[in-house]
Amino acid sequence: MFSKIRELLIGKTLKTEELEGEKLNIFWGLPILSSDAISSVAYAGEEILYVLIGVIGLMAYRYMFYAAVAVILLLILLVLSYRQTIDAYPNGGGSYIVAQDNLGIKPGLIAGASLTVDYILTVAVSICAGTAAITSAVPSLLNHKVAIALVMLIILTIGNLRGTKESSKIFGVPTYLFIVSCIVLIITGVIRHYVFGYLPAQMYSIPKQIGDITLFLFLRAFASGCTALSGVEAVSNGIPNFKEPSQKNAKAVLVLLACLVLFIFGGLSFLATIYHPVPSANVTVFAQIAQQVFGKGIMFYIIQVTTAFVLVMAANTAYAGLPLLLSLMAQDGYVPRQFSQRGKRLSFSNGIIVLAVAAGILIIVFKGDTHLLLPLYAVGVFLSFTLSQVGMFLKWTRSKEEGWKHKAVINGLGAIVTFITVILIGITKFVHGAWLVFIIIPVLVYSMGKIKNHYNKVVKQIKLSNDERPNIGIKTNNDQHVIILLGTLNKTFLKSLNCARCLSNNVVAFHVSTDPAATEKLKVKWKEYNPGIPLIIEHSAYRDIIEPLMNFIESEDRASKHGETVTVVISQFVITKWWHNLLHNQTGYFVKSMLYKNRNVAVLTVPYIIKE
Amino acid sequence: MFSKIRELLIGKTLKTEELEGEKLNIFWGLPILSSDAISSVAYAGEEILYVLIGVIGLMAYRYMFYAAVAVILLLILLVLSYRQTIDAYPNGGGSYIVAQDNLGIKPGLIAGASLTVDYILTVAVSICAGTAAITSAVPSLLNHKVAIALVMLIILTIGNLRGTKESSKIFGVPTYLFIVSCIVLIITGVIRHYVFGYLPAQMYSIPKQIGDITLFLFLRAFASGCTALSGVEAVSNGIPNFKEPSQKNAKAVLVLLACLVLFIFGGLSFLATIYHPVPSANVTVFAQIAQQVFGKGIMFYIIQVTTAFVLVMAANTAYAGLPLLLSLMAQDGYVPRQFSQRGKRLSFSNGIIVLAVAAGILIIVFKGDTHLLLPLYAVGVFLSFTLSQVGMFLKWTRSKEEGWKHKAVINGLGAIVTFITVILIGITKFVHGAWLVFIIIPVLVYSMGKIKNHYNKVVKQIKLSNDERPNIGIKTNNDQHVIILLGTLNKTFLKSLNCARCLSNNVVAFHVSTDPAATEKLKVKWKEYNPGIPLIIEHSAYRDIIEPLMNFIESEDRASKHGETVTVVISQFVITKWWHNLLHNQTGYFVKSMLYKNRNVAVLTVPYIIKE
């Protein structure tokens, strides 16, 4: 039943060989990997304005535009830097790889942990912002925003479990629609104002100026705007998702992305200086601009719908990025190995599910509020940018390959600027929530170290040298100790007995008495049936089966006499309907898990099928 | 870790022999088994008033008093009837037993299902009413009523998992305090009014009369008041909880209970005719009476606190009753057998947990609102009363023992009255929620039949006749088929191999290739190590291990050639820290559960302990 539902939702299992067909060309790669950066125009401008307007009032629009320009300059620098990274790391040049490669394991783990945190936040923030776009258009939905966000999350998760390529086709179109609507919005907004002199009344009144612009205030505004830049990492981390030539395609997508953000983010910030939107809890700044430019007509609703879609697609960027990152880290043994396995549809399904659950928790805890989530955002991504850039800088200075000086200058400059930015973000947003990230990242790095440690320990302990030879084989008298755990005398016992006697001549039945009446009945029946093996009965005052059994194994010194493994036989009902399992004691299951903790006890499970 | 937390919460494991010490005498039995009936005065009066006051306005108080008198008369009849049941059924005369004994299996199951539903509702209703008592005193808590109710539920559950006797001592005192406060309230209320002519202004205005009293309206009011009577069943069902002489003690508790309800319910209804409380969403009717009589001083708060406590104790009645009922039904095979097992502290812990979860769901779904829950209530208990009374009536007419006529008259009268009541409740409350109960009870009865069916099928299939003899024993060539499932060549394989070779001379290793590179490495290592058994390798396109393995077993016709069991050896890591399990694929676990479905495959699990 479960497998049928799964097949309906995520499609038929794919062969490993079908992997190549799931990759992206430039046309589909752009929407799926750049929607994060492009869509952030829907909230990044609002965040800048939110910081400024409460203090400097009307002046906020001018400084908002300056901050946006600063963010765009930073983006251009990042694109230049990352083009070099893509060249140098054809298998995916995520910060994790670059930092580990050039700076060592610890910096690599810090980059990996930072990115993990940021991918999860990308999903939570983008979905919440998408929900805000919907509730801006339909205010009556304001009370259901958490539910709307969770539904979006579930749809996205299912789409991604179906596999990368299909999700890009489903999800690529809205990104293009959003780009086109934004361009139309900007052009219309500029023409209506400058050509036709159109200027509608403001929707909300601008707060009074209560202070002057300070450097700290401007830097806070700039730091808030930096949330727009996490998408860059996604492209360079996602090279293996591209069709061949994957590096060239990735670089092309990166440049296209930069051009689009330049035009749209710049254009919208400019429109803000004309139309004066004011951050409000009910209608987003972006929606206010659209409403001012178009009026509350069809174009307004198109803008809101495409915004919602593209923000959900931005979350999709993280669905492409995080599972891939986790699979790389899993191969290195820093996160559970299961992250490196492809699911039924060849996507890294474990990573997708973990991402969905973590983002879902964030949405619920932060009540679907973008404002509360954003201060946590961007610390991680700029930390990883910095590590990556420093790594690239060192790479060039070490390799001294052709043209290294030029490349080192670009990455060095990138390193300095992103480092300054991470400090800025950390300081200006610390009390607003960024402190949480400064706790989570070290905890993740520590856990990754512990995990690697465990895997190392296991590998060391189970490593087999050629000198350790197997035993010669079966002994002539075949007296391997076999104990049948006996509840009541029935056919399951008979089957267990037959199994055991095929394997050994030294079989005993062991019964733990928790109910004297039942034990008496067993004794009578045993005498009657007389199976020809000894029956040992132990009383248990605490209704516990494990302890008497373990005592029996140890007291007889069965385990150690020959240094052999004692085998305990447990019969298990096999039932066709899953709910029938609720009707039977899972004693066998508990006994087994306890016995496994004893090195010298092997458990032979003999299934007995109950027919319907 | 988990076992330590459990020990801290519910105490040390008790021996089966310690069971006798956990029973109740009259003094503790009264509060623990009658708090349900006594506490219902806190909401039953309000429910009656709620039905009447919207229609007949001020006249409601007079008819409320009449309805209360009718409920009390019904209670007296029930007590007389149930005293006879206690005499006839010393081991617990719950309706389930009585109905099954005298009317047959189906009526027994209907009684059992009805009681199950009602016990769960008792917990949900009482806890919600207890929360209402608290929020009546501290209105600022109104928004947190679901959280408050759930905390109470958790505390109760833990208390009950610790065992019956301890819970009675912890919980008995508040019931007595409530009884005393109610008596003080009634006496004070009457004296202040009649002796000192005290009559404060009403707290809320009484709705205008919009209709006349009709028979249907009065019957609806009476039906709402009948929620007070579920406690009777709890006493007669709980006879085994009493100290010897348990029947005498139970009968004494029943009579004391009737006297207390008579005085308190009657007294409070009388006070209502003086002080004119009006049902409101914020302050309970009972709280209004207390506030009118005492003013909002210390006595008012004492009343509210003891009311909250006694209502939680009423929920406790169900904690004593339902697990016992489920254990009886489990012994008969109508509900999962696990309900008949005593937990670490000798309480029927599975029943307690199921009760807590079901009540918790009800509290959450109905948002902690007593009003919404009450229409579901009482249908079940009166259905079971009726079945029980009819059963008792038939018992006397069949046995014709000394004095049977007198006894038959009492039970016959009880049967008629409770039958009329169940019809009344069903009709008057159907649209308000009782329809749900009329769906749930048949579903439960149907499920119980299916469960019994399954158990019967299992018993029949595994019954061992003395003619079915075990096989003679080990064959001389000892060529039992043993297949070792091989992932990588390491020490876990060596241990598995040694185990297997102790049991058979016919051992092969089987490897499913999901990653060609890993398989190549394995081949090289295998050649080098040369363990002396054949290695079979199968490729799996769909990254699935089960199918190739099953095909291998079947294609070789290994299973059927000798009609023997094939043994598959799977090694399993045993890990000291639970979270380390997250770091390893649970492939072995999935393979095992699939293999069990094949009748002729036994699984030998060889544990390998990873040291820390």
Q: Hey, what amino acid is at B257?
A: L
Nearest to A609 among B492, B599, B607 (CB): B599
pLDDT for position A14: 66
- Distance CA(A50)–CA(A285), nearest Å, equals 10
- What pLDDT, in 10s, does the model give residues A198-238? 888 888 888 888 888 888 899 989 988 888 887 777 788 77
Dump the DSSP string for B541-605. Answer: TTS-SHHHHHHHHHHTTHHHHSSPPEEEEEEEEEESSGGGGGGS--HHHHHHHHHTTSTTEEEEE
- What pLDDT, in 10s, does the model give residues A102-115? 999 999 999 999 98
A567–B604: do the CB atoms touch at under 8 Å?
A: yes
Give the number of beta-carbon pairs within 8 Å between A and B: 210
- Distance CA(A574)–CA(A591), nearest Å, equals 17
Distance from CA of A356 to the nearest CA of B (A): 18
Q: Hey, what amino acid is at B314?
A: A
- What pLDDT, in 10s, does the model give residues A524-579? 999 988 888 999 998 887 777 888 888 888 776 554 555 567 888 988 887 777 77
A602–B490: do the CB atoms touch at under 8 Å?
A: no
Residue predicted with more confidence, B331 or A594: B331
Nearest of B224, B502, B524 to residue B375 by alpha carbon: B224
pLDDT for position A231: 75
**CATH code 1.20.1740.10 region(s) in chain A:** 20-455
A464–B490: do the CB atoms touch at under 8 Å?
A: yes
What dihedral angle (degrees, nearest 10) is formed by the CA atoms of A377, A380, A382, A384?
-160
pLDDT for position B2: 61
- What pLDDT, in 10s, does the model give residues B259-314? 999 999 999 999 999 889 988 888 888 999 999 888 888 999 999 999 998 888 88
pLDDT for position B360: 94
Mutation target vs A (from B332, B565, B578, B581; most A CBs, 10 A cutoff): B565
- What pLDDT, in 10s, does the model give residues A351-387? 899 999 999 999 998 888 888 888 888 888 889 899 9
Q: With beta carbons under 8 A apart, name residues in chain A contacting B473.
A: 501, 505
Task: Pick from A405-419, A587-601, B494-508 the range whose average pLDDT is largest.
Answer: A405-419
- Distance CA(A185)–CA(A299), nearest Å, equals 9
pLDDT for position B197: 82
Nearest CA in chain A to B496: A602
ipTM of this model? 0.74
- Distance CA(B244)–CA(B189), nearest Å, equals 40
pLDDT for position A171: 65
A494–B599: do the CB atoms touch at under 8 Å?
A: no
pLDDT for position A18: 58
pLDDT for position B390: 94
Mutation target vs A (from B503, B504, B576; most A CBs, 10 A cutoff): B503
Distance from CA of A384 to the nearest CA of B (A): 25
Token representation of residue B483: 């297949």
Nearest CA in chain B to A503: B503
Q: With beta carbons under 8 A apart, name residues in chain A contacting B565.
A: 495, 498-499, 502, 606
Residue predicted with more confidence, B129 or B610: B129
Q: How confident is the model at residue A20 (pLDDT cuts 50, 70, 90)?
A: low
Q: Element (H or E) spanning B404, and its range? A: helix B404-429
Distance from CA of A92 to the nearest CA of B (A): 21
Say if residue B320's pLDDT is above 60.
yes
Q: Do residues A119 and A321 make contact, with C-beta atoms less than 8 angstroms apart?
A: yes
- Distance CA(B121)–CA(B19), nearest Å, equals 28
A462–B490: do the CB atoms touch at under 8 Å?
A: yes
Between 3.40.710.10, 1.20.1740.10, 1.10.150.570, 2.60.40.60, what CATH number should domain B2-449 receive? 1.20.1740.10
pLDDT for position A556: 63
The phi and psi torsions of B369 (rounded to 5 degrees) equal: -100, 115
What's B481-610's CATH class? alpha beta
pLDDT for position A315: 86
- What pLDDT, in 10s, does the model give residues A140-190? 888 888 999 999 999 888 888 876 555 556 667 888 899 999 999 999 999
Nearest CA in chain A to B594: A574
The 3-class SS string of B489-504 reads: CCHHHHHHHHHHHHHC
Lowest-confidence segment of A11-20, A462-471, B538-547, B581-590 by average pLDDT: A11-20
Say if residue B458's pLDDT is above 70.
yes
Average pLDDT over residues B234-241: 78
Distance from CA of B458 to the nearest CA of A (A): 6
Distance from CA of B269 to the nearest CA of A (A): 42
Nearest of A511, A504, A513 to residue A536 by alpha carbon: A511
Mutation target vs B (from A506, A605, A611, A612; most B CBs, 10 A cutoff): A605
Q: How confident is the model at residue A346 (pLDDT cuts 50, 70, 90)?
A: low
pLDDT for position A165: 53
Average pLDDT over residues B41-58: 88
**CATH code 1.20.1740.10 region(s) in chain B:** 2-449
CB atoms within 10 A of CB A422: 23
Q: With beta carbons under 8 A apart, name residues in chain B contacting A457.
A: 610-612
Say if residue A32's pLDDT is above 80.
no
Average pLDDT over residues B126-151: 90
Nearest CA in chain B to A565: B499
Helical H runs in B226-348? 231-237, 246-275, 285-294, 298-331
Say what the pTM is: 0.71
Write b or e for each residue in A275-286: b if 16 or more Cβ atoms lie within 10 A of its Cβ, otherwise e. Answer: bbbbbeeebbbb
- Distance CA(A423)–CA(B222), nearest Å, equals 72
Nearest CA in chain A to B459: A490
**Ramachandran sector of residue B174 (left: φ over 0; alpha: ψ -120 to 50; beta: rest):** alpha
Say if residue A28's pLDDT is above 90.
no
Q: How confident is the model at residue A22 (pLDDT cuts 50, 70, 90)?
A: low
Lowest-confidence segment of A421-425, A515-519, A574-578 by average pLDDT: A574-578
Helical H runs in B143-195? 145-161, 164-194
Say if residue A93's pLDDT is above 80.
no
B573–A466: do the CB atoms touch at under 8 Å?
A: no
Nearest CA in chain B to A469: B531
Q: With beta carbons under 8 A apart, name residues in chain B contacting A471.
A: 498, 501-502
- What pLDDT, in 10s, does the model give residues B150-175? 999 998 888 888 765 555 566 678 88
- Distance CA(B162)–CA(B58), nearest Å, equals 49
A478–B480: do the CB atoms touch at under 8 Å?
A: no
A529–B464: do the CB atoms touch at under 8 Å?
A: yes
pLDDT for position B230: 74
Average pLDDT over residues B240-261: 88
Average pLDDT over residues B205-210: 85
pLDDT for position B469: 80
Nearest to B499 among A489, A529, A602 (CB): A602
Mutation target vs A (from B499, B583, B601; most A CBs, 10 A cutoff): B583
Q: How confident is the model at residue B63 (pLDDT cuts 50, 70, 90)?
A: very high
**Percentage, residues of chain B above pLDDT 70:** 92
Nearest to A574 among B531, B585, B596 (CB): B596
SS3 helix, strand, coil % of chain B, rounded to 5? 70, 5, 20
Nearest to B604 among A468, A572, A604 (CB): A604
pLDDT for position B474: 65
Average pLDDT over residues A460-478: 76
Q: Do residues A568 and A532 make contact, with C-beta atoms less than 8 angstroms apart?
A: no
Average pLDDT over residues A259-288: 89
B463–A528: do the CB atoms touch at under 8 Å?
A: no
The phi and psi torsions of A603 (rounded to 5 degrees) equal: -120, 125
- Distance CA(A126)–CA(A363), nearest Å, equals 10
Helical H runs in A472-600? 491-503, 516-529, 546-555, 558-561, 587-595
Q: With beta carbons under 8 A apart, name residues in chain A contacting B454.
A: 580, 583
Nearest to B470 among A531, A543, A604 (CB): A531
- What pLDDT, in 10s, does the model give residues B546-601? 888 888 887 765 545 555 678 889 888 877 777 777 777 777 777 887 887 776 78
Nearest to A583 among B454, B489, B592 (CB): B454
Token representation of residue B233: 């069943």
Average pLDDT over residues B300-329: 87
A474–B502: do the CB atoms touch at under 8 Å?
A: yes
Q: What is the mean pLDDT of chain A?
A: 85
pLDDT for position B523: 92
Q: Could you give the angle at the alpha carbon of B351 between the alpha carbons of B348 and B356, nearest 5°? A: 125
Nearest CA in chain A to B539: A16
Can you tell me whether residue A181 is helix, strand or coil? Answer: helix
Q: With beta carbons under 8 A apart, name residues in chain B contacting A544.
A: 13
Q: Do residues A421 and A382 make contact, with C-beta atoms less than 8 angstroms apart?
A: yes
Residue predicted with more confidence, A198 or B446: B446
pLDDT for position A479: 74
**CATH code 3.40.50 region(s) in chain B:** 481-610
Topology annotation, domain A20-455: Amino acid/polyamine transporter I (1.20.1740)
